Amino acid sequence: MARFQDEDLFQSSTMTFGEHLEELRVCLIRATAGLLVAVLLGFLVAQPVVHLIEQPLRRALGNYYTERSIETFDAWQPRVAGGPALPYSREEIIDAVEGHGMSFELREVHADRLARVLGDSTPMAIPPPKKTVDDMASSTGGAGVGQGSPFHIDALVPLLLWQPLSKDARVSITTLSAQEAFGIYVKAALLVGVVLSSPWMLYQLWTFVAAGLYPHEKRWVRIFLPISVGLFLAGVSLAFFFVFDFVLDYLLQFNEWLGLDPDPRISEWLGFVLILPIGFGLGFQLPLVMLFLERLGIVDVATYASQWRIAVIVIFVVSAVLTPADPYSLLFLAIPLCFLYFGGLGICRWFPRSLEKR
């Protein structure tokens, strides 16, 4: 018996709207359960993860204050012409700072007073200027050392106080409350849980998508699922291992330009760490989203090709929303997304939607 032309070949496989909602509810419950299990595992490794998350910030602060130390050395000028210079050469400073990981703070002291405190009768540098008649007249000859004498500012000599850069208080990352450390621990466990459970959650998402497809279309889910997981992990890795250093260097240089010394808090930095990698991971799903919209018939390949300029503008706007207020993170997200957009366009052309090729 001949089949009518308008008869649905897969009518038995269609789902009602209520069945779609039930499938969505089941997928969300499974994804949430997987996330909770991953977060519980994250609590076991949260402490080393916190130290791992600190490394980009500590490294950026170390580079910042290393450059500041060398700039401080170069900018030093004696208070008087022919006055005492710094007790180290520039080569020694660079070797200590860059080769041995040391930092210093530049202070000034009276050499004769310091020698007296150290029990050395030989002054460490030039003695203070001779007192005038008025200066000697103002001296009362009290028991205290120098009591009644004026403060000789021109007699100050430079002194460098050294310490390992890792022990420098300016490089340490602070908390401002007792309970903030616990919040950091929980956020680190949440970050680990999101990364560990991302393949499972993406699998549940694609399971929901597959429930609304015909049997002959579901095979694409098995192909695109590993691609989706790979793109998400690639976005997270790009943000954590590459983008953070550029963003931090830019922000710290901006602090220096404004004449402000940074005093970062670990909770604020951790919030930054949570937002940026996840934003990159979700943004890298763009080619698969494009293919999905094309398969649903919402957008066709010709529209993708003709409206690419508008798409680039939208990508930059979305990147500005998903990233902090700095140009580096925006560009590092927007530029790969532009390439991924054209990659998605190529995938849509590679897997045409026409019924004949299906």
Chunked in runs of 10, what are the mean pLDDT values of the chain (358 residues)?
45 63 86 92 89 83 83 83 83 87 86 74 48 44 54 84 84 77 86 86 80 67 80 86 82 81 77 78 86 78 89 89 76 89 86 52
pLDDT on residue 295? 73
Half-sphere exposure at residue 224, Cβ-oriented, CA atoms within 13 angstroms: 24
What sign results for the dihedral spanned by CA atoms 245, 248, 252, 254?
A: positive
pLDDT on residue 147? 56
Q: How far is CA 266 from the centre of its chain?
A: 12
pLDDT on residue 195? 83
β-pair partners for 110: 156
Tokens 């597959």 sit at which residue? 210
95-99, Cβ contacts within 8 angstroms, sequence gap of 24 or more: 96/162, 97/66, 97/69, 97/70, 97/165, 98/66
Residue 293 to residue 97: CA distance in whole angstroms: 55
Domain ranges for the chain, please list them: 20-62+174-350, 64-136+151-167
The pTM for the full model equals: 0.65
pLDDT on residue 299? 84
